Chain A
Amino acid sequence: MPLLQVQNLTTYYHTLRGPVHAVENVSFTMDKSEALGLAGESGCGKTTIALSLLKILPWNGRIINGSIFFKDKDITKMTEDQLRKEIRWKGISLIFQGAMNALNPVYRVEEQIVEAIRTHEPKIKKREAKERIAKLFEMVGIEPSRAKNYPHEFSGGMRQRAMIAMALACNPSLLIADEPGTALDVIVQAQVLKLISELKSKLNLSIMIITHDLSIISETCDKMAVMYAGKIMELGDVVSLFKKPLHPYTQGLISAFPNIKAKKQEMVSIPGSPPNLLLPPPGCRFHLRCGFAMDVCKKKEPAIIEVSKGHHVACHLVSR
């Protein structure tokens, strides 16, 4: 039984101009201590998936359809109270994008983590919570005495580490990191990614990394899902996806990524920009930018099929 099983998840944002089809019919599974990378351009629905898993969508966001089974229980059917007691922080926790701004500047870091722990585990005393924080800080590589500092006294990398410590405060089994590398310098980014991989093996964590940076996924994840305009285009293990990408979008995305060790080469890009999700294009959502688009792509939406074990693709070129 997988740890997380998402089936046909569909999430819309309701706006005055109609629903935004942010995530549509997305299905994937995650096993224990597995790392999944969710890749795609901005606005393709990566973060919406994370928010749906925790049911912390903004007021106009709604899960329209689908189920999210986490350890045999359907998250979509849970009440707020259940979610707080069983899922958020204790089952699944999220490191938000932009660690720089995710901490409250007027509270000490320690107080913020104590609050998080005591909200989700009311029985824990303040003292115990503080002891736990000291251990967590040691684990993520910050001097435990620094917990008494305010966020502005931390550097960017330390804030990111503190966010990771905070996310791990209630022993979750799944950690979601939303753009853990952006806004950090390469060296600090490498340090943070190394920390995440170490924690993964040490704590037997499952990790979901949301990023537009394919190189981060290739270095830290076992599986990768490529999203475009609210849909998963291709899903499979990292090695086969990078070696033999089948979807034209995945191919484009991989070749758009410069490899520092490769020969100096002409850079490749995917012309055009992602579609408006208020009115997603009919047929395959990628057909407007696809170099291989055929007539059928404009009319019929390709189903996602399994081409080899664990490797799923949604493209008419493959299903032909």
Chain B
Amino acid sequence: MEEIVIKAEDLKKWFPIKTSFLATLLSRREIYVRAVDGISLEIKKGEILGLAGESGSGKTTTGRLLMRLIEPTSGKIFFKNTEITHLEESDMKPLRRQMQIVFQDPYESLNPRMTVGDIIAEPLKVLGAAKDEKEIEKRVYEVLEDAELIPPQEFIFRYPHELSGGQRQRVATARAFVLNPEFVVADEPVSMLDVSIRAEILKLMLSLVDKYKTAFLYITHDLALSRHICDKIAIMYLGKIMEQGTNEQIVFEPLHPYTQALIAAVPIPDPSSKRVDVIIKGEIPSPINPPPGCRFHTRCPSYIGDICRKSEPPLIDMGNGHLVACHLYGSKAKS
């Protein structure tokens, strides 16, 4: 069995909302945005997990929690058998070398005053991952070549403004992989890029994942792309995982009504295929007061009555690792 690199158990992140002084006096109750509300997942070495969902479903927060960029409200995070949920920052530092992130917007995630060489060398310097300048330089050249920024000596002295969007995202990717990390989070890495170059960047990431056997969390709202790059997909809705499975299971045998609607809503670039018309109504409710019971019941086309409103469906295994949280399948679970 492949080694599990990162694992979350019942992870929660509630952001408190600031209320006025008077409101605090009048009611003791604090109000929270339940961005992530009890999710469990694991990613193995060399595996790509896609985390998909509408905006506001808590995908980005999950990514940041796993990296310990924000503190969880409750739950546990394991990195290769070590619990890192409450590690001190000083104990965390050696682990930081092994977890990296690629952000969505390459126009904002690169310091405009640093050269490409400095940007990529920075993690090596900050985390003391190289012995001397020579080694740093060697590693920077290597990773620039990996990122197909060739020839490296031509890019090393350039500034971000001299690069195109695609090249910038390559630099951000190179920076993430320069430390040979074991776990990388990519938060919508291609949504700011033009369609014609998206594939290039994703291919680059895939080849790096393959080369370094990284556990990869791919956060996206684009199911069509996840279909072609992920091994597994988890569908999030209002801070919960609704369904999880291999990409074939999710795309061709979606079980949850929400997943079915999401898949049906993806436009297909083929004018001869007609869309099946199961569009759900309305938009994602506010995570401040998520609906009781199943969170999706307010929009669900297959609402089956009181049970959906009252009790929250657990995530159950329907066989072959296909997990779903829906009352429709309550009795059919393979325990």
Contacts and interface: CB of A to CB of B under 8 A. Distances in A.
Interface stretch (B5-13, B179-187, B218-226): B218-226
A257 interface: yes
Q: Which of B55, B229, B264, B268 has the most CB of A within 10 A?
A: B268
Given A239-B272, A242-B269, A267-B199, A186 B280 contact: no
A123 interface: no
Contacts of A239: 271-272
A286 to B, nearest CB: 11
Contacts of A270: 196-197
B223 A218 contact: no
Contact of B267 (A156, A190, A238, A273): A190
Contacts of B227: 258, 260, 264
Nearest to A255: B199
B268 A219 contact: yes
B202 interface: yes
Contacts of A213: 195, 267
Q: Which residue among B194, B221, B251, B267 has the maximum number of chain A CB atoms within 10 Å of its CB? A: B267
Contact of B195 (A190, A253, A261): A253
Nearest to B281: A191
B164 interface: yes
Contact of A260 (B203, B223, B281): B223
A253 B196 contact: yes
A254 B271 CA distance: 12
Interface string B274-316: 0100011101100000000000000000000000000000000
A138 interface: no
Given A155-B283, A194-B279, A273 B166 contact: yes
A190 B283 CA distance: 12
Contacts of A134: none
Interface residues of A, number: 43
B268 A212 contact: no
B4 interface: no
B270 interface: yes
Nearest to A188: B283
Given A259-B268, A269-B198, A187 B228 contact: no
B223 to A, nearest CB: 6
B197 A187 contact: no
B42 interface: no
A252 B197 CA distance: 10
A187 B275 CA distance: 13
A149 interface: no
Nearest to B280: A187
B275 to A, nearest CB: 6
A166 B143 CA distance: 51
A240 to B, nearest CB: 9
Contact of B268 (A156, A260, A269): A260
A256 B279 contact: no
B35 interface: no
A260 B225 CA distance: 7
Nearest to A266: B203
A30 B225 CA distance: 33
9 contacts: A185-B284, A187-B261, A187-B279, A188-B283, A215-B268, A242-B269, A259-B269, A261-B273, A266-B203
